[in-house]
Structure 1
Amino acid sequence: MSSETFKYKDGSLPIDQRIDDLLSRMSIDEKIAQLGCIWSTDLIREGRFDPDYAISQIPNGIGQITRIGAATGLRPNESANLMNSIQKVVIERTRLGIPVFIHEESVGGFCHRDATVFPQALGLACSWNPELIEKVAQVIREQMLAVGARLALAPVLDVARDPRWGRVEETYGEDPVLVGTLGTAYIKGLQGDDLAQGVAATGKHFLAYSFSLGGRNWGPVHVGPRELREVYAEPFAAAIRDAGLSVIMNSYASVDGLPCAGSKSILTDLLRKELGFRGSVVADYFSVEMLRSFHKVAADKSEAACIALNAGLDMELPALDCFGEPLKKAIEDGSIKIELIDAAVRRVLELKFRLGLFENPYVDAGVASSKFQTPEQRQLAYQAAAESVVLLKNDGVLPISKDDVKSIAVIGPAADDKRLLQGDYHYPAHLESLFESQSDTESLGLLSEEPAPTPAGQLNLGNFAPGPYYTPHVTPLQAIRDKHPDIDVIYEKGCDILGDDRSGFAAAVNAASNADVSIVFVGGKSGLKRPATSGEANDATSLSLTGVQADLVRAIAEAARKLVVVVISGRVHTLEDLVDSTNALIFCVPPGEEGGNAIVDVLFGSVCPSGKLPVSFPRRVGQVPDYFGQRNGGDKAMFFGDYIDSTVDPLFPFGYGLSYTRFEYSQPNIEVGDTTKPTAISFEIRNVGEYTGSEVVQLYCQDVVASVSRPTNMLLGFTKVRLDPGQSKKLTFIVHPSRLAFYNEAMQFVTEPGQYIFRVGSSSVDIRHELDVTLPGETTYYNQRDVVATTVVVE
């Protein structure tokens, strides 16, 4: 046959024409196959890839392959070879030769053996540095492309306002503008300017997954339509309009009784019609089946498939289940229209054409490993880790002076444990559920009535089997010893992350009493498999440090001459009881492979800390949810203004973080626009301290009187500026009036004229200038899908 006959193979034709041609040739079985996927390891038999066995599993092809990197222990060149082998079978031995794409995890780096381990997402958010996050995503893109993985199940765009939820660490924080800005940067870095040379990003989890009842994973969500759009949909809206997000993944939860995997009002009316999303929607793992077994809105798998497809969900992950034979049955008995199937298949095929898979389905496996663990990538991992460190308290003990300090006591369970440098979606932390307990269904938080979530071939993978394979990880203890060999370092673990064993306290206290400075490293263990203290399905009712770690800190405080506490954890903790007993306090989300080097360089002043909190730290768990930007009246307990046993204020507010240097803000000026024209806020910032450092400059706003109750403070934009001592720069924030828009009583997205207070500051409470203005004009109608992001001019 000529390429003219098979138009879908002609790369010179428009994509729509190619899709039309291919779709017209597909059988029902071939269409259904494109709506699902299969575990890569289900194509392996007796520890090897067998093409004959593989084609017997996918005789009609398949839409995508579930994870090679995050399901095996293959090194990059081996992973690329397996991808090529699978692709070859599908292209050469199925009737139409439709290529597959492989999806992988990449929240804090590509979840693959030998891939660069960057800080967990919340740590990246502590940098408040979109340019840095875009560079991180570019490395992830480079490594994924090297092994032929073309769909990343990231970024997480959930707005995290309940720290009890175990997946807060996977997010970019509690504010929709911050999450949207950082998520957009990640997507740009991952997808690039041309998707044919990039990796498709998946924004997840649509929608409001993070605000579940009781902070419990998969729990129902109760938010109104205004909150749903202004807060939880806004990061997705930003990703769609500003980065061209390719794929969306649904939430496991229900919103006001509507399971997101099966809600047309969420996946079609809101996502596609209101927000303008044109790409594919993929199911979070097993969520189609959950319409039957968990939410109980479907009587059987056929009905679950129909509900999901009618809602606007295109592909089932991680394997064909409801979208397999149950869907075929529904088509045959007329329960679902073929036009709906065609619409979903069309979106899947469009993504494959945009990725260029029909023209370039294979990769050069021989060079794949050269794209992993390069010096440049490790340097970027170091920079990301360094910028993620947040200094919460410092009475002058930091930075540590090598001239004055001759001995250091290094204490604590997080001082020398590389596993604690990882988040729940890092390799190998994420794969513990596979290589430690292959038959443990409960370890992935799935329903006990369901079959084990591991691939069918998992128990006989041979050399493909995953394992505890780490890239070189530098712990804080190792970094101190390597970087400062002249200092006498005394190490005592003291206790574990979990448990009540205090037998190591005495030795730890003795070490502290004999050292010039004591540094205690405490924290948590992030993961999917228990025991863990945070991560997916590891939710908590207490936000205190686990085990006896707080007792260890208090014991050390009694003996230490100077005490620094470093908390390395994926969870937001209540640290009020530790603040008064320490000279300095640092918080660091699992920082990845270069975490030890980065933390130690901050401790000793080689790096001036610049991290800012993307979440509020409550004083006590009883304040939860206690987040920045609550609506008027929400930040006080009426009518005394506080609790009977606590202030309502957080211990550490959103946007907070100290530095070793000082920044002065001066010469504020505002050029007021109106409800149709931008407003410009300018000022000068100067480094008036002794260290070169970076400041995260934040712009907030309050709509003083509006037609509905508005937040007391809203983040409009931010920028990170690096200044040498004495250096100054002029900054100008340009705020488009659509950035001030909200949903009025009639659910119209409007910007109203009236009084606004613009606030410039170093955090949400450290405000350096307030500019009270009246915005002229008429009430102006906008669409959320068209909001213009705030820009910053630096001179």
Structure 2
Amino acid sequence: MPKASTRIKTYRNANGPVVSTVDRRVFEQDGLTFKDIDGSGTLSAVNDWRNTPAERAAAYVKVLSVKEKIAQLFISDWRMAKYPMTGPMAAMYKDMERKTDAYGILDEGEFRGKTIFGEQHLPSTTTLLKEWFNRHVILRANATPADMADWMNEAHAVCEQCEHFIPVAAASNSRNENGELVFGMNDAGGVLATWPGTLGIAAAVKGCRIDLVDKFAATVRREWNACGLRKGYMYMADTMTDPRWQRTYGTFGEDPALISEIMTHIIPGIQGSAQGVTADGVAVTTKHFPGGGARENGFDPHYAAGQWNVYATPGSLETYHLPPFAAAVKAGTASVMPYYSKPAAAKSEPQHDLQGNVIEMEPYGFAYNRYFIDTMLRGQMGFTGYINSDTGIAHNMAWGVEMLDVPERIGFAVNHAGVDIISGLFDNDAGQQAYDRAHTDYYDTHPIPQGFTKDQLVLTDEALDRAVTRTLTELFALGMFEDPFRDPEGAERVVADPADRAAAAEAHRRSVVLLKNDGTLPLSSGMKIYAEAFLKNPEQAKAATQALRAELADCTLVDDPAEADAALLFVSPSSGEYFNATPGYLELDICENKTVHNVDAEGRPTAETHTETTLSGAGRLAEIAAAVHAHGGKVISNINFTMAWQVGNVERLSDVLLAGFDTYRDATLDVIFGRFVPTGKLPITLPRGDEVLAVNEAGICVSPNDVPGFAKDRYMPDALKDENGKAYAYRDAAGHYYEYGFGL
């Protein structure tokens, strides 16, 4: 039998949707074509596309079995046979049995083992879809457009073989930005039209116009839809306030006003309208409510030390963190992802909700926090979409509800807090247990955990139907029941559109921020140039240097800095690990083997020390600069900002300093050689040095963690302020402050 992509039958309705199928029955009525979605063989409320998505979803939950509905509550990682796991995924799934169907499309491997999110059991794809009836997966493979479309088509075809048809909703983290591929953050890149990182998009927008975001969103929508990807875990509405937060690079910076404006444009552009998702749109999951930027000295909630959101400054939550989410809700975002963390009442000042009420700081992770989800997000912001938890909340990151077992956590999240999809594992069995406990005398013989009630911990029919209705409504609105299939060759054509590539290239050039220039720029290509790239990984630095020199093939390159008229130094620091805490605070200094203090279990500095390196060969920067300056040469440095680096060790050596944000090198070189006049502006404030990030013996930072860089001076001690009343931002030799919005 040929593969699904070659067996698709298509029917067109006048003034109605396209109906496509491989094996599902279709029928005609009133001169129109309908698909037999619910298996009834009749023009039921479910099958009639003239009904609203909400009406069809409400009818379908009455048809589906409890087992089928419970399967809709969970989403987890999935894989593609043709694309082996990389990075942490490779380590997690190294012993997985790998088989494929006759076309090499569906991965039939089975896996059992421990992952970073808990004990994982992944069956074959066919088993997952036909027997387990799960329909929500996180596709992390970095596949070609044609392969993604083929894989999705094959998966939908399997789903059509079930009594009740529900298409596969494959979610993905963003795929249209440049950057290091990291599991759980940037799983894929370099295949679709590739823009700079989101910080770079913010830098470009700040220095240019918001229509750049409109072009970006339209590109994402066309490309994803063509590939069959209809749900994006993107974008972050978080305001970056603690510079040591490792996820800084995925934000749009530190200004809630700019982030809100971007949300207002990017969400309708990707989803297809300002009223929500459309049949040619991609559903957006805005994350991480109510904002992950308020970290406690940079600790991340992927590990226990970072499980708190600390609001040390009165009013910071409503002033800096909530507004972008309110803008996202107003723009019609399909779903919202709460963060892992929980509010730290003991360490926080009073915060107010959108109606001026003092917020109840319940000690539960935000996916379990009814006040934040139900009272604030739904009640006050008016959010009507669905809640998609972050990955792992029911197992390894169950902050605040560790005393509950997994079925109770599922019940508490769905029944009590209002979560609609739980990410991390396919916990169908635990979901069934939570449901059974609501319909049996389980708690007559088992204790109810202190502080909870039975009604909070079980999965009721009402809560189950509510959650499934919300996710089905989105699938109906996306047109995925009628027309889930995509043309693989068409996907390749859409993604190859030169206009989208040109728009991405323009964004890269506009993302470059010129921080310092003593008149050296633009360079002449006739100069003798020494070029080297620096990274934390020495082997990667060698490869990056070779690539940099290859892009300078038209220049006169020298191997000795002492012979150079100019040195081009591309500096890309890196700090910490995504899923593990560092022994001390995350290092922002561009340094090598720097001695820093450890921290204790409470996040306070100790007398013990260790060394940190954010850039291998950092000491050589000064040697190169001295060699070049000795005969009147110039040093041009470019720093790649994934975090708010302390730039002093580079700026003091440089005659020219530029900032990029996962910006393509050729775009930076266009600025250096005068082929493009820089327009980018800093989307974040760069801290002056260790003194403005110092943490006292009580674990309190001298610059508040919950306030953006442009506002930190209001809270800084006078002893740190200069003659202009500024303390936090870095100030260069020319007197410029590297603060939000700066750029020459």
Task: Answer yes or no: same fold by TM over 0.5.
Answer: yes
2:652 aligns with 580
The offset of 1:76, in angstroms, is 2.0
Instruction: Say if 1:550 and 1:37 are closer, same or farther in 2 by CA, change over 3 A.
Output: closer
Structure 1: gaps of 5 or more residues: 422-469, 492-510, 526-531, 660-795
The offset of 1:170, in angstroms, is 0.5
1:541 aligns with 586
2:70 aligns with 32
Q: Give CA-to-partner distance per residue, 1:619-670, whole Å, 9 cap, x none.
A: 1133134765776972441478569xx94444344334334xxxxxxxxxxx
1:654 matched to 2:726? The reply is: no
Structure 1 residue aligned with 2:280, among 170, 194, 197?
Answer: 197
2:291 aligns with 208
2:100 aligns with 47
Structure 1 residue aligned with 2:684, among 611, 615, 624?
Answer: 615
Instruction: Say if 1:610 and 1:416 are closer, same or farther in 2 by CA, change over 3 A.
Output: farther
2:451 aligns with none
1:111 aligns with 188
1:518 matched to 2:579? The reply is: no
1:246 matched to 2:334? The reply is: yes
* Mapping for residues 9-158 of structure 1, pairs under 5 Å: 9-41=47-79, 46-48=99-101, 49=106, 54-59=125-130, 62=133, 64-68=135-139, 70=140, 72=141, 74-93=143-162, 95-106=163-174, 108-109=176-177, 111=188, 114-128=191-205, 129-158=209-238
Question: Does the aligned pair in 2 maintain the 1:39–1:65 contact within 8 Å?
Answer: no
Structure 2 residue aligned with 1:177, among 257, 263, 272?
Answer: 257
Q: Distance in 2 between matches of 1:305 and 1:80?
A: 33
What is the letter of the counterpart of residue 689 of structure 2? R
Instruction: Say if 1:549 and 1:619 are closer, same or farther in 2 by CA, change over 3 A.
Output: farther
- Worse-superposed segment, 313-322 or 263-272: 313-322
Q: Distance in 2 between matches of 1:76 and 1:100?
A: 17
Q: Distance in 2 between matches of 1:88 and 1:5?
A: 22
2:661 aligns with 589
User: Structure 1 length normalisation: TM-score?
Assistant: 0.66
Question: Does the aligned pair in 1 maintain the 2:338–2:387 contact within 8 Å?
Answer: yes
1:330 matched to 2:437? The reply is: yes
Question: Does the aligned pair in 1 maintain the 2:175–2:192 contact within 8 Å?
Answer: no
Instruction: Say if 1:549 and 1:189 are closer, same or farther in 2 by CA, change over 3 A.
Output: farther
1:271 matched to 2:409? The reply is: no
Q: Distance in 1 between matches of 2:540 and 2:496?
A: 18
Instruction: Say if 1:177 and 1:400 are closer, same or farther in 2 by CA, change over 3 A.
Output: same
Q: Distance in 2 between matches of 1:239 and 1:611?
A: 25
Question: Does the aligned pair in 2 maintain the 1:76–1:113 contact within 8 Å?
Answer: no
1:407 matched to 2:531? The reply is: no
SS in 2 for 1:85: helix
Q: Distance in 2 between matches of 1:126 and 1:515?
A: 31
* Mapping for residues 424-503 of structure 1, pairs under 5 Å: 475-481=547-553, 485=554, 487-490=555-558
* Mapping for residues 552-563 of structure 1, pairs under 5 Å: 552-560=620-628, 561-563=633-635
2:600 aligns with none
Instruction: Say if 1:266 and 1:657 are closer, same or farther in 2 by CA, change over 3 A.
Output: same
Question: Does the aligned pair in 2 maintain the 1:252–1:260 contact within 8 Å?
Answer: yes
The offset of 1:550, in angstroms, is 3.6
2:322 aligns with 233
Instruction: Say if 1:635 and 1:380 are closer, same or farther in 2 by CA, change over 3 A.
Output: same
2:392 aligns with 286
1:386 matched to 2:424? The reply is: no
Q: Distance in 1 between matches of 2:323 and 2:204?
A: 21
Instruction: Say if 1:615 and 1:420 are closer, same or farther in 2 by CA, change over 3 A.
Output: farther
User: Structure 2 length normalisation: TM-score?
Assistant: 0.70
Structure 2 residue aligned with 1:361, among 460, 465, 484?
Answer: 484
Instruction: Say if 1:658 and 1:475 are closer, same or farther in 2 by CA, change over 3 A.
Output: farther
Q: Distance in 2 between matches of 1:125 and 1:629?
A: 15
What is the letter of the counterpart of residue 99 of structure 1? P
SS in 2 for 1:114: coil
SS in 2 for 1:570: coil
2:36 aligns with none
Q: Give CA-to-partner distance per residue, 1:523-546, whole Å, 9 cap, x none.
A: 125xxxxxx657675775321112
What is the letter of the counterpart of residue 588 of structure 2? L
The offset of 1:6, in angstroms, is 2.2
Q: Distance in 2 between matches of 1:225 and 1:22?
A: 47
What is the letter of the counterpart of residue 66 of structure 1? V
1:167 aligns with 247
The offset of 1:244, in angstroms, is 1.0
| Pairs aligned (count) | 570
The offset of 1:359, in angstroms, is 1.3
Q: In percent, how many aligned pairs have the same letter?
A: 25
Question: Does the aligned pair in 2 maintain the 1:387–1:611 contact within 8 Å?
Answer: yes
The offset of 1:34, in angstroms, is 1.5
Q: Give CA-to-partner distance per residue, 1:45-91, whole Å, 9 cap, x none.
A: 513437995443334664543233x2x35422122111111111112
Q: Give CA-to-partner distance per residue, 1:488-529, whole Å, 9 cap, x none.
A: 1125xxxxxxxxxxxxxxxxxxx221111111111125xxxx
Question: Does the aligned pair in 2 maintain the 1:153–1:201 contact within 8 Å?
Answer: yes
1:301 matched to 2:406? The reply is: yes
Structure 2: gaps of 5 or more residues: 1-38, 82-96, 109-122, 178-186, 345-362, 441-454, 591-613, 694-702, 732-736
SS in 1 for 2:79: helix
SS in 2 for 1:359: coil
Instruction: Say if 1:478 and 1:379 are closer, same or farther in 2 by CA, change over 3 A.
Output: farther
The offset of 1:142, in angstroms, is 1.9
- Worse-superposed segment, 265-274 or 215-224: 215-224
Q: Give CA-to-partner distance per residue, 1:149-193, whole Å, 9 cap, x none.
A: 110000011111112111100001111111111233222321122
The offset of 1:19, in angstroms, is 2.0
SS in 2 for 1:196: coil
What is the letter of the counterpart of residue 637 of structure 1? P
- Worse-superposed segment, 322-331 or 357-366: 322-331
Q: Distance in 2 between matches of 1:278 and 1:81?
A: 33
2:27 aligns with none
